[in-house]
Amino acid sequence: MPDLFWERSIIEKPQDGRDMVCHASAWDFFDGEDFRIKQCTTITSAFFKTTHHEMGHIQYYLQYKDLPVIYRAGANPGFHEAVGDVISLSVDTPKHLRVMGLLEDGPDDLESNINQLYKMGIDKIVFLPFAYLLDLFRYGVFRGSTSEADYNCHFWQLRETLQGVEPPASRSEEDFDPAAKYHISADVEYMRYYISYIIQFQFHRSLCQLAGEYTPGDTDRLLSNCDIYNSTEAGNALG
């Protein structure tokens, strides 16, 4: 990361009374020098991953900063999110957390690996129907097939049908629950995340093989425990 990144990024909520949107985001100021992230973190595992994700966006910005402005974008929105998450996939492994001194030494056995995979499944697989339905909801609004009076009901119908979840309390059209999701209120299409949750594992697998961290069929080099930290080969490929 450039020195200017560390000087101008906001990692913690300002204590000077400034009002700001705390949702994590990465910013390219299109001058080839100024790149920042903005978020209000506390010391948690979730923010640890989110910060690395946003820094993945910054690294993508840095890679194309010298191109004409029209080309300073990801191959598609899903690519940008996938690159960010590829970084998070490595930093969240027990192997990397031990290297960083954030996790005590513990058993590295089959049960531990199953736990890691289960946690990953809850994070990544369960998310897919939600990502899909969020844009289904948006498209219905844009097309006019979902009436204003039916916004909230349609949102929960999609959640029940595709996710199998229901609201924890009675809801009505007096409520507008979709707006609680930042991307709905900020008009950010959400299919990028659905795509990224698939292709990030393709990126991750390739980088892990280049780093010598993953060998198909080798139980000592599992993809679920891959850490590309300090791998020049993986870094060159990602860049």
pTM value is 0.86
Which parts of the chain have pLDDT scores under 70? none
Q: Which of 165, 37, 143, 45 is nearest to 100 (CA)?
A: 45
Which residues contribute to the annotated binding site for Zn(2+)?
53, 57, 81
Residue 174 lies in a domain: no
Q: Is 233 a known active-site residue? A: no
Which residues contribute to the annotated binding site?
53, 57, 81, 192
Residue 47 lies in a domain: yes
Residue 17 lies in a domain: yes
Catalytic residue, candidates 54, 96, 154, 204: 54
- Other C-beta atoms lying within 10 Å of the C-beta of residue 236: 9
| pLDDT tens by residue, 167-203 | 999 999 899 999 999 999 999 999 999 999 999 999 9
Q: Which domain holds residue 43?
A: 1-73
Residue 111 lies in a domain: no
Q: Is 192 helix (H, G, I), strand (E, B) or coil?
A: helix
Contact between residue 56 and residue 81 where contact means Cβ atoms under 8 Å apart: no
Residues 25 and 14: their CA atoms lie apart, in Å, by 16
Residues 157 and 145: their CA atoms lie apart, in Å, by 14
| pLDDT tens by residue, 142-171 | 999 999 999 999 999 999 999 999 999 999
Residue 87 lies in a domain: no
Q: What is the DSSP letter of 67?
A: S
Residue 61 lies in a domain: yes
Residues 18 and 78: their CA atoms lie apart, in Å, by 32
Q: Is 183 a known active-site residue? A: yes
Q: Which of 12, 6, 7, 9 is nearest to 42 (CA)?
A: 12
Q: What are the backbone dihedrals phi and psi of residue 195, each rounded to the nearest 5 degrees, phi first?
A: -65, -45
| Axis crossing angle, helix 45-63 with helix 77-91, rounded to the nearest 10 | 130
Number of structural domains, the chain?
1
Residue 48 lies in a domain: yes
Residue 69 lies in a domain: yes
